[in-house]
Chain A
Amino acid sequence: MIWLQRFFSWWQGGTWNTFWHTRRHGELVGHDEFGNAYYRTRGGKIHPDLGFERRWVIYKGESEGSSTPTGWFGWLHHIVDTPPTDENYQPREWQKPFRANQTGTPNAWRPQGSLYRSGQRPAATGDYEAWTPGS
């Protein structure tokens, strides 16, 4: 199916054009834990205009930019040249693992004071304490 989707959508994996470009010029560097594939120009060929090699990623499934792990993010953005797979990269504590956008799900973020935050209905006008028989 993925090849059919490549005709019509750009947000699942890559497009046909990317696919062909990767086949002709790309060189696989590695995969992250989500299965996203990271490529660079074959042999580290320097792009004449940029002055450095090009690096790109083809997502597995939906193209979600935030799902790039921190280690690969550094490599992808030319912050480091060693891919995390080669150096046993350990994310720092403040580098949180990827979590998909929870908007619209029960886990969506509710700011303080939101009616939905506690899971309980707040006291409202017209509330009363009903009597219940003692024993």
Chain B
Amino acid sequence: MTKLIVDGIEVDVPAEFTLLQACEQAGKEIPRFCYHERLSIAGNCRMCLVEVKGGPPKPTASCAMSVRDLRPGPNGEPPVVLTNSPMVKKAREGVMEFILINHPLDCPICDQGGECDLQDQAMAYGVDSSRFAENKHAVTDKYIGPLVKTSMNRCIHCTRCVRFTAEIAGTSDMGAIGRGEDMEITTYLQTAMTSELSGNIADICPVGALLPKPQNFRARPWELNKTPGVDVMDAVGSNIRIDTRGREVMRILPRVNDAVNEEWISDKTRQVVDGLKRQRLDRPYVRENGKLRPASWTEAFAAIAARAKTVAPEKIGALAGDLVSVEEMFALKQLVEALGSRNMDCRQDGAKLHPQFGRASWLFNTTIAGIEQADALLIVGSNPRREAPVLNARIRKRWRAGNFAIGLIGEKADLTYDYAYFGAGPESIAEFVSKTPKDIARPMILVGQGALTRPDGAVVLAALAKAAHDIGAIKDGWNGFNVLHTAAARVGGLDIGFTPGEGGHCATAMSNGGVDLLFNLGADEIDVAPGAYVVYIGTHGDRGAHRADVILPGAAYPEMSGLYVNTEGRVQRSDRAAFPPGDAREGWAIFRALSDALGRKLPFDSLGELRAALVAAHPHFGHVDEIAPADAGSIKDLAALGGAFDKAPFGHVVSDFYLTNPIARASAVMAECSAVAAGGYKQAAE
């Protein structure tokens, strides 16, 4: 620890801190453009200049100067940093004047206006007029993909976007070509960016040079209501901020949560917003004579009740989809149980995870932040880049830090980091175990859904649990057995036991004629065979709605308050940012009303009462933002199961990253992204 004095405040900071961090420790705000705490230091904007005593006798870029580079005074006095001296103010004003030389003064027509670093800092350090009489330079706008609009005249060459794509995203899409005043930020020959995290560069851009293209000229930041939410596009549970104007969701931005998503979100999370406005189910429908006709809630409930009377309890079933909240599933589970059935499943992809194996068997036990403590990683049957881009960025972060061996069993893919390839199918697990040294302190195994959705998924799961034991991934204080989910609702569903009870049918059996009355809660990735009477409760007119006999319109994730459990088992609450369209209602309220119509009234009248019942049944749901650790012992039991597996190679579960769920499939932006991604690297240039 090193002592230094910042504006008369003495702080004690680690020697490797930069002056900027030390000043923040002292509560002093340092203006900056190029410095970003999650990116490497560039030191090219010069806005963070400070005056130091015990260092160079000139204004010093505090982001690039380390505390250990300062020397104490002749009598051992600690070094002094001044952040508001006249010299600092003049230096920063000079820097600001240079930055503004080539920056257009088009704030009134710039979407960044109101949330622009340059605008804010010009209030403090800008001068009222320019002394620059020469021509400003003009830069042509670049095409860099369907999600980010460029306005390159505004670029101040901070290179945050270049560093983000090179370091965090790992695709090195952006670069600065040319030199001096001809320097331009662009992708290689204006191709579209290939990263699934590309939208983040619009966030980190300190000016209006990179802006989210779909939100172009739609809203001003000060007219938006900001609601904290949780993303459901993948199982990472990224923390998001849902910005609404009136009842319309205008955009989705990341919220900082170092344990989950740091401050990044995937492109699907960010730009799926237009999917919330298309193909919406806004009124109940009832199928009559083979055709769906709009109906009232009463009619729809009456139709269901009439059918329910004719169906035996064991012929009633329920399916839960990938985007639903825990409360919805809990209410549906109670309803189905009240009707006397045990047929329910939240695993529409047929993953062989089951509560009987213990909670540790379906969690990402290491936790996402825990990846940074790991020493080695084996990925089995997963493409984390497509299934959970933000989590993949965390793996890449650990890989960049060095001394991190990564292995892969399954389909080869560009994961943005190097890995050793062990094979395509389950027989490679044994080979991996034999080749792996036993003295790795903290190894982890990441099991993807590609390994679990196979018919022999349970055997593969057991084999991997055994492998985890054999390489020492499970020990005191370290659980290296991780399941990476792709569905936001899956862990919550398994936690509340939304799985077939004794003698109950699983998803595959239910969809293939096992039941006569099927409650389908937003499960759109499964085909239900003809015969069953399907009640679809969902938000979008997707596969489930087309097959349905009764449609009950529900609320999408920004339109309701709900609990979600991410792949680590972290319980997170999302708040309501908007209202469901038309006659649509929140899922739990639909089931409460339906239960009345079916004569099996559920014992709650409000979301609060429902949550109380949920917490009473499953106490860990009472601890929001926390992970209830799972007992690693169950993995040992799982490992003992054994069995023979098929030699078929592991497949992938996410073939098109941009179109994995009904909301994304309704989004025009996601469709464009998908087309651009399919067109490959070379296309999409103007």
Contact = CB atoms under 8 A, between A and B. Distances in A.
Q: Touch between A and B in complex, CB under 8 Å?
A: yes
Interface of A: 124-135
Contacts of B248: 125-127
Interface stretch (B417-425, B539-547, B608-616): B539-547
Interface string B552-587: 000000000000000000000000001001100000
Contact of A128 (B277, B285, B545): B277
B179 interface: no
Interface of B: 245-248, 276-283, 285, 291-292, 540-541, 545-546, 578, 581-582
Given A124-B246, A128-B276, 16 more contacts: A125-B247, A126-B246, A127-B248, A127-B277, A128-B278, A128-B581, A129-B278, A130-B280, A131-B279, A131-B280, A131-B282, A131-B541, A132-B541, A133-B541, A134-B546, A135-B291
A134 B246 CA distance: 30
A16 B42 CA distance: 93
Contacts of A127: 248, 277
8 contacts: A125-B247, A128-B276, A128-B277, A128-B282, A131-B541, A133-B541, A133-B546, A134-B546
Contacts, number: 43
Given A128-B277, A128-B581, A133 B540 contact: no
A131 B281 contact: yes
B246 to A, nearest CB: 4
A135 B541 CA distance: 13
A125 B276 CA distance: 13
Contact of B247 (A126, A131, A135): A126
Contacts of A129: 277-280
Contacts of A128: 276-278, 280, 282, 581
Shortest Cβ-Cβ A-B pairs, 8 listed:
A131-B541, A126-B247, A133-B292, A125-B246, A128-B277, A125-B248, A130-B282, A126-B248
Contacts of A132: 541
A133 B551 CA distance: 10
Given A125-B246, A125-B247, A135-B291, A130 B540 contact: no
Q: Chain B CB within 10 Å — which of A126, A127, A129, A130 has the most?
A: A130
Contact of A131 (B245, B540, B578): B540
A126 to B, nearest CB: 4
B581 A130 contact: yes
A120 to B, nearest CB: 19
A96 to B, nearest CB: 41
Nearest to A135: B291
A134 B545 CA distance: 11
A133 B279 CA distance: 10
Contacts of A124: 246
B129 to A, nearest CB: 36
Nearest to A124: B246
Contacts of B245: 125
A133 B581 contact: no
A135 B540 CA distance: 17
Nearest to A126: B247
A121 to B, nearest CB: 15
A83 B246 CA distance: 63
Contacts of B291: 133, 135
Contacts of A131: 279-282, 540-541, 545
Nearest to B223: A125
A124 B248 CA distance: 9
A122 to B, nearest CB: 14
B582 A130 contact: yes
Nearest to B287: A133
B407 to A, nearest CB: 45
Contacts of B581: 128, 130
Q: Chain B CB within 10 Å — which of A124, A129, A131, A134 has the most?
A: A131
Contacts of A133: 285, 291-292, 541, 545-546
Contacts of B292: 133
Contacts of B546: 133-134
B258 to A, nearest CB: 34
Nearest to A130: B282
Contacts of A135: 291
Contacts of A125: 245-248
Nearest to B582: A130
A93 to B, nearest CB: 43
Nearest to B281: A131
